[in-house]
Structure 1
Amino acid sequence: MKLAITGGAGLVGRFLMEEALAAGDDVILLSRLAPAPGFFPAPVTHRPFALGDRPDLSGVDVVIHCAFSHIPGRYRGGEGDDPDGFTRANLDGSIALFEAAKASGVPRLLFLSTRAVYGSYPDGTVLTEDMAPRPLTLYGEVKWLAEQALAGLAGPDFAPTVLRATGVYGPAGPGQPHKWANLFADFAAGRPIAPRAGTEVHGEDLAAAVRILLSAAPGTYNLSDILLDRHDLLALVAAHTGITTPPPPRADAPVSQMQTDRIRALGWRPGGMDKLRATLPALL
């Protein structure tokens, strides 16, 4: 299979690149810069790409769109002081890619969206794919608008799939910090840490879901695995490192979790807390 992946050198995209390479796919990385030697476990084809480009994707079987322009380390609030530029890059740029893929005859496109499209439902709501999105942030709004634009391009020869993923954790690529690097540094230094709980999925489990969806019926799929409180995460860190600082209190508010029955019905089985425990030493 010939895949073209945008954002493949980022935290999330790298997991997809590595899974595709391990599966023996012909993988094209669409990114502004070529990866450094050794960044991926096998050679990849690099084509220069920036959001807003309309590349010729003839011969590609599936485009996987992960690229997203934002302030480093921030998705919600990632627009900084330039919401118009954020929207142009991420919404207009995504639509340009979708249109280019369809015009090139690409039969399938998978778009990495986000739990943030659900937005304003009350805390503790079970979020299903059939619920109307109500984004509260520009990040969620841009992703939801991109989802709608992609759905409008669907046709007999162009099948779009949307994967609404929660937070993604796991080891980062060479020279890159993982998502909890600053949190762990603050904990080690004894700096105050606000209570928080949220949902997470390991990048390898996300890549496994994408593999399933490459041949599944098109549509919208939620993706989430564990509900993780910072108290429990940092207690595990303390157990591994000997840090004596107490972790923050548990979060009070209930967390809205995405129902994942649709992707699980296709055979997806994430690693749960066991996978987090097994991964943690590589993050310390």
Structure 2
Amino acid sequence: MTRVLVTGGSGYVGRFIIERLLADSDAVTVLGRNMPPPGFFPKPVDFHICDLEPQTFRPETLAGSDAVVHAAFDHLPGKYRGGEGDDPESFVRRNRDGSIALFEAAKQAGVSRVIFLSTRAVYGPKASGTALNEDTPATPDTLYGKVKRDAEQALLAMMDRDFAATVLRVTGVYGPAGPGRRQKWADLFDDYLAGREIAPRASTEVHGEDVAAAIRIALDGPTPAILNVSDLMVDRHDLLAIVKAATGSAHPLPKRADASAINAMDCARLKSLGWTPGSRPLLERTIRALLA
């Protein structure tokens, strides 16, 4: 049994992490801004209210944990890129400086492993057709990407033989959002089923359960310091075709997006460690379940 402290455990991605850890019989402590409703997690967890201000994190807060999974991120609702709104100073303080304070406190507390959920946004724009692997230069063009890159660099610089770290560069995450919450494509599905015009768009995606599986691998380590986490390219045309087939909708599908403008993430490094994402079959099962 591993004693794992998870920040942001009641968030969209965090819930998948907590469910996997509980299923593996780990001892879980969750730090989050808002207490989740009763029954949000399948089993009771030790939950503590906290924010991401740097002074929040002290070694005594993390004492007794074997590992820390840092999944929390402070941003405007529904926005990561542009999530700073009109207050970039607070955005940087909480997300960069707060993350670094957490990593420092974890090391001082004797935590042996930290896993940091970063983002594909650290890579920034690249030429069409460029596959993003972990050695691709990180040149973010958004404050979101810069904050994550700076936190990555600070964490990796702290590594030594007693303090292991894994950075997971995660793409867009899909899947059920948990009791009382709307999944990420809910508005898109509503618009399509109502016959509204849908703009073409494609993106790289990974199911939340596959993110949690990557975290399991990182917890059990050792792993490379940086791992990409992405599964498949999803075009709205194909996504809504599943919705159309499941519902019998007569509405036309949107045009396909220009997928060549989107850089796929190379996840060979993670797959070599035994990670097997659900790909198209999991996407189809998930969409049908969400519609049901």
TM-score (norm 2): 0.94
1:282 aligns to what?
289
Are 1:54 and 2:57 counterparts? yes
Alignment of 1:1-284 (within 5 A): 1-52=2-53, 53-55=56-58, 56-218=61-223, 219-254=225-260, 255-284=262-291
- Output the CA distance in 1 between the equivalents of 2:98 and 2:196: 39
What is the aligned-residue identity percentage? 57
Q: Is the 8 A contact 2:119 2:171 kept in 1?
A: yes
In the TM superposition, residue 33 of structure 1 has moved relative to its aligned partner by: 2.7
Asked if the contact 1:5–1:27 (Cα under 8 Å) also holds between the matched residues in 2, the reply is yes
What amino acid maps onto 1:119 in structure 2? G
In 1: Cα distance, 2:168 partner to 2:87 partner = 27
State the aligned residue count. 284
CA distance in 2, matches of 1:73, 1:102: 32
Q: What SS class does the counterpart of residue 62 from structure 2 fall into? A: coil
Amino acid at match of 2:219: L
Q: Deviations over 1:28-48 (max 9, x none)?
A: 011123221101000000122
Partners of 1:67 and 1:265 lie apart in 2 by: 27
State the one-letter code of the partner of 2:194.
Answer: A
Secondary structure of the equivalent of 1:228? strand
SS state at 2:43 partner: coil
**Partner Cα separation in structure 1 for residue 83 and residue 290 of structure 2:** 24
Checking the alignment, whether the CA contact within 8 Å between 1:123 and 1:253 is kept in structure 2 is no
Alignment partners' CA distance in 1, 2:172 and 2:222: 24
CA RMSD of aligned residues (A): 1.1
**Equivalent position SS for 1:257:** coil
> What is the CA-CA distance between 1:253 and the residue it aligns to?
4.4
Shift of 1:124: 2.0
Whichever residue aligns with residue 63 of structure 2, its letter is S
Give the SS at the match of 1:76.
coil
